[in-house]
C-alpha cells in the first residue's frame, strides 16, 4: 500500500464525514484512511463504522480515550502504507493531498515531504481570518544542507502538512509525546523527524485546509499543559539548532525561532478564550525574559511585533504587556 492517512476522531459527528470524503476525491489508487475513534461519547464512532462499510479505502479502529497523540501512535503501529500523512477530524483537504505528495516523495526518495496549507479562522461558520502558506518551489534538501534551509523547512508546524516514510519513522522510533494534549505535539514529532532525515522534499502547493473554530469562553483557565508543550519544544529545538549549526551559522534564524516560543508563551494565557491573572502572567514573562537573556538572541533579527514584546520584556514592563494582551485577545 502506498499511503496511510491517519485521522484521530473524537466527538466530531458534525465534521468527520466531510473530512473523510474530501480525501476520497484523491485520484491515487492505493491508499487507506485510518479512522481512530478515541473513545468518542457522541455518534462519531458509529459514523466511522458507517464510512468503513461505504468505502473500501477506510478502516476504523475503536480505542479508549487517550488523546490525539495516543490515537496517532496507535495508528502508526497498524498502518500499512509506505508513507504516512495525517488529518484532523474537523478539517478538509484539496485533491492531490495524498497522490501528489506521494509522487514527490517517490521522485526524491524522501524521508519527509513538506507542503502548503490554507488556514481559516471561523466564527459560527463565517470566515474571519484566512492565510495561505506554501513552499516557494519544488526542491529537495539532503543531509547537512537541510540546515542551510532550516527556516524554510520549519515554516509550517503541522504534521498534516507533511508526508513521512513509514520505515523511517519506525527505524528512529519517531512517535508523538502522549503527555501533551494542548499544543506542540506536532512540533516535537517534526523536530525528531528533521533530526534524523537524510532527504526532505518541498512541494510548492497548498493541499490542506486547517480550520480553527473560534469558541470564546470567558471562564477558561490558563492551560498549563499548553505552556509545558511550549517549553518542552523550545528546549528540543534549541538543542537541535545548536547541534546542527543553525545557531552558529544563522543566528538571525535562531533568534526568530526562539522568540516565537517566548511570544507564544506570553499570549497563551489569552488566546482561544483563556483568562490569565497578572500574577500568572508575570511568572510567564519572567521565564520568557530569562530565555531571551540566556540565549543572547538579538532584537535586530526580529519583526516589529516581536521587537515590541522583546523590548517590554527586557525592561520588565510586564504590566504594559499584560494590558496589550488583554486588549488584543479579549
Tell me the mean pLDDT in the region 203-220: 74
Residue 43 CB coordination number (10 Å): 14
pLDDT exceeds 90 at position 142:
yes
DSSP state of 7: E
Tell me the three cell numbers of residue 73. Answer: 501512535
Residue 41 CB coordination number (10 Å): 9
pLDDT exceeds 80 at position 158:
yes
Which residue do the cell numbers 527586557 mark? 314
Summarised one tens digit per residue, pLDDT across range 247-275 is: 999 999 999 999 999 999 998 877 656 67
pLDDT exceeds 60 at position 215:
no
Residue 135 CB coordination number (10 Å): 21
The H-or-E segment that residue 55 falls in is none
- Please give the pLDDT value at position 135: 95
Tell me the mean pLDDT in the region 231-240: 98
Tell me the mean pLDDT in the region 103-131: 91
Summarised one tens digit per residue, pLDDT across range 164-207 is: 999 999 999 999 999 998 789 999 999 999 999 999 999 999 99
Spell out the residues 6+ positions from residue 318 whose beta carbon is closer than 8 angstroms to its own: 278, 281, 282, 285, 286, 312
Closest alpha carbon to 19 in 29, 28, 8: 8
Summarised one tens digit per residue, pLDDT across range 74-94 is: 999 999 999 999 999 999 999
pLDDT exceeds 60 at position 217:
no
Tell me the mean pLDDT in the region 200-223: 76
First vs last C-alpha separation in the chain: 48
Summarised one tens digit per residue, pLDDT across range 90-99 is: 999 999 999 9
Chain CA centroid to CA 293, Å: 27
Closest alpha carbon to 86 in 3, 195, 151, 205: 3
Residue 17 CB coordination number (10 Å): 17
Cα gap 72→69, rounded to integer Å? 5
Cα gap 287→266, rounded to integer Å? 10
Read out DSSP for 60-116?
A: EEEE----HHHHHHHHHHH---SEEEE--TT-EE-TTTTHHHHHHHHHHT-SEEEEE
At 10, is the pLDDT very low, low, confident or very high (cuts 50, 70, 90)? very high
Residue 52 CB coordination number (10 Å): 17
Mean pLDDT value across the chain? 93
Tell me the three cell numbers of residue 35. Answer: 479512522
Tell me the mean pLDDT in the region 11-40: 97
Q: Which of 42-46, 215-219, 263-267, 298-302 has the lowest mean pLDDT?
A: 215-219
Sign, CA dihedral 125-11-59-162, equals positive
Tell me the mean pLDDT in the region 6-35: 97
Amino acid at each position: 500500500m502506498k499511503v496511510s492517512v491517519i485521522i484521530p476522531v473524537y466527538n466530531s459527528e458534525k465534521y468527520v464525514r466531510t473530512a473523510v470524503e474530501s480525501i476520497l476525491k484523491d485520484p491515487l489508487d492505493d491508499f487507506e484512511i485510518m479512522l481512530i475513534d478515541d473513545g468518542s461519547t457522541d455518534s462519531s464512532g458509529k459514523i466511522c463504522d458507517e464510512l468503513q462499510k461505504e468505502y473500501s479505502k477506510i478502516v476504523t479502529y475503536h480505542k479508549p480515550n487517550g488523546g490525539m497523540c495516543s490515537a496517532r501512535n496507535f495508528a502508526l503501529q497498524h498502518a500499512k502504507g509506505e508513507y504516512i500523512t495525517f488529518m484532523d477530524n474537523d478539517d478538509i483537504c484539496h485533491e492531490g493531498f495524498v497522490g501528489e505528495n506521494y509522487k514527490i516523495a517517490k521522485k526524491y526518495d524522501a524521508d519527509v515531504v513538506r507542503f502548503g496549507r490554507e488556514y481559516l479562522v471561523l466564527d459560527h461558520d463565517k470566515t474571519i481570518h484566512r492565510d495561505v502558506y506554501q513552499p516557494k518551489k519544488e526542491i529537495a534538501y539532503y543531509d547537512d544542507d537541510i540546515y542551510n534551509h532550516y527556516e524554510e523547512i520549519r515554516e509550517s508546524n503541522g504534521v498534516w502538512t507533511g508526508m513521512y516514510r513509514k520505515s523511517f519513522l519506525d527505524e528512529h522510533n519517531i512517535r508523538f509525546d502522549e503527555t501533551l494534549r494542548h499544543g506542540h505535539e506536532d512540533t516535537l514529532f517534526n523536530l525528531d523527524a528533521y533530526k534524523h532525515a537524510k532527504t526532505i522534499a518541498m512541494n510548492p502547493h497548498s493541499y490542506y485546509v486547517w480550520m480553527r473554530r473560534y469558541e470564546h469562553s470567558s471562564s477558561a483557565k490558563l492551560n498549563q499543559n499548553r505552556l509545558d508543550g511550549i517549553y518542552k519544544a523550545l528546549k528540543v529545538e534549541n538543542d537541535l539548532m545548536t547541534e546542527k549549526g543553525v545557531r552558529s551559522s544563522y543566528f538571525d534564524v535562531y533568534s526568530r525561532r526562539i522568540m516565537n516560543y517566548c511570544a507564544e508563551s506570553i499570549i497563551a494565557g489569552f488566546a482561544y478564550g483563556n483568562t490569565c491573572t497578572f500574577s500568572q502572567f508575570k511568572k510567564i514573562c519572567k521565564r520568557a525574559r530569562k530565555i531571551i537573556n540566556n540565549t543572547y538572541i538579538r532584537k535586530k533579527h526580529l519583526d516589529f511585533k516581536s521587537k515590541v514584546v522583546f523590548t517590554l520584556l527586557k525592561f520588565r514592563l510586564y504590566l504594559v504587556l499584560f494590558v496589550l494582551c488583554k486588549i488584543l485577545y479579549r
